[in-house]
Amino acid sequence: MKLIMLGAPGAGKGSQAKVLADKYGIPHISTGDIFRANIKEGTELGKKAKEYMDQGHLVPDELVCDLVVDRIKHSDCEKGFILDGFPRTIPQAESLDAALDQINETIDHVIDLEVSDNVIVERMGGRRACPECGATYHIVNMKPAKEGVCDRCGHGLVLRDDDKPQTVLKRLEVYHDQTAPLIDYYKKQGNLEEFDGTMKPDEVTKTIIARIGE
């Protein structure tokens, strides 16, 4: 099962990807993880990516695609994989298609989680994070035992800058401009599956599995 997760920041892509990865016994692959792994291992691709990142530049689409394709050639991807955070743009999607075609692979399903902007702003504005141990909570959906305090380590919780409404709105603007066009791109390919991301997480998971298969 070869899957791509689409959806705005805060739509629940990462959470669903982890559950589906466990369900299907396939790796959940994010570009951030790929970058970190290659840089840590000192691979040639990792060295090239680090050069761009150290200069504050975006890693070029072609190099990102090379890193992704290199990752999906690993033995743990024999049964499939879930791509989370890539592709982000039409050129990246085209590069990925071309690279997969060369190794006789295709994407089975592109899962798009539909959530309105106002719901995402509300969701992310309710997130609270522990700067000490990294645990995350939500003031409505996943409250800590004691308000404002981390259950795990007892440190005070904070609203991260990334989750503040003005930042979220900027991230959504970028998403609608660069990533949302991928919905039409994959719709034309016939492998797009759209889901209501405002349902409870377990309901979203059940709906996805019912549609794409056990």
Tell me if residue 171 is catalytic: yes
Question: With the CA atoms of 204, 205, 209 and 214 taken in that order, what torsion angle do they form, in degrees rounded to the nearest 10?
Answer: -160
133 assigned to some structural domain:
no
What is the crossing angle of helices 13-24 and 201-212, to 10°? 50
Q: State residue 140's pLDDT score.
A: 87
Average pLDDT, the chain: 92
Tell me if residue 71 is catalytic: no
Q: State residue 32's pLDDT score.
A: 81
Tell me if residue 160 is catalytic: yes
Q: Which domain holds residue 35?
A: 2-115+178-212
Stretch 1-26: mean pLDDT, rounded?
94
List 13, 71, 123, 128, catalytic entry: 13
| 192-196 and 109-114 strand pairing | parallel
39 assigned to some structural domain:
yes
21 assigned to some structural domain:
yes
Spatial contact of 196 and 93, defined as CB atoms under 8 Å apart? no
171 assigned to some structural domain:
no
List 2, 123, 127, 128, catalytic entry: 127
What CATH number does residue 203 fall under?
3.40.50.300
Q: State residue 191's pLDDT score.
A: 96
List 48, 50, 160, 164, catalytic entry: 160
**Residue 131 pLDDT class (50, 70, 90 cuts):** very high
DSSP label of 176: I
- Give the C-alpha separation, 17 to 84, whole Å: 7
Q: How many domains does the chain have?
A: 1
32 assigned to some structural domain:
yes
List 48, 50, 164, 171, catalytic entry: 171
Q: What is the pLDDT of residues 47-69, one digit of tens each?
A: 999 998 888 887 888 898 899 98
Of 193, 189, 185, the residue nearest 211 (C-alpha): 193
- Give the C-alpha separation, 97 to 91, whole Å: 10
103: tokens are 């190794």
- Give the C-alpha separation, 130 to 157, whole Å: 5
Q: State residue 84's pLDDT score.
A: 93
With 0.75 as the threshold, say if the pTM is over it.
yes
List 48, 88, 164, 187, catalytic entry: 88
Q: What is the pLDDT of residues 137-147, one digit of tens each?
A: 999 888 999 99
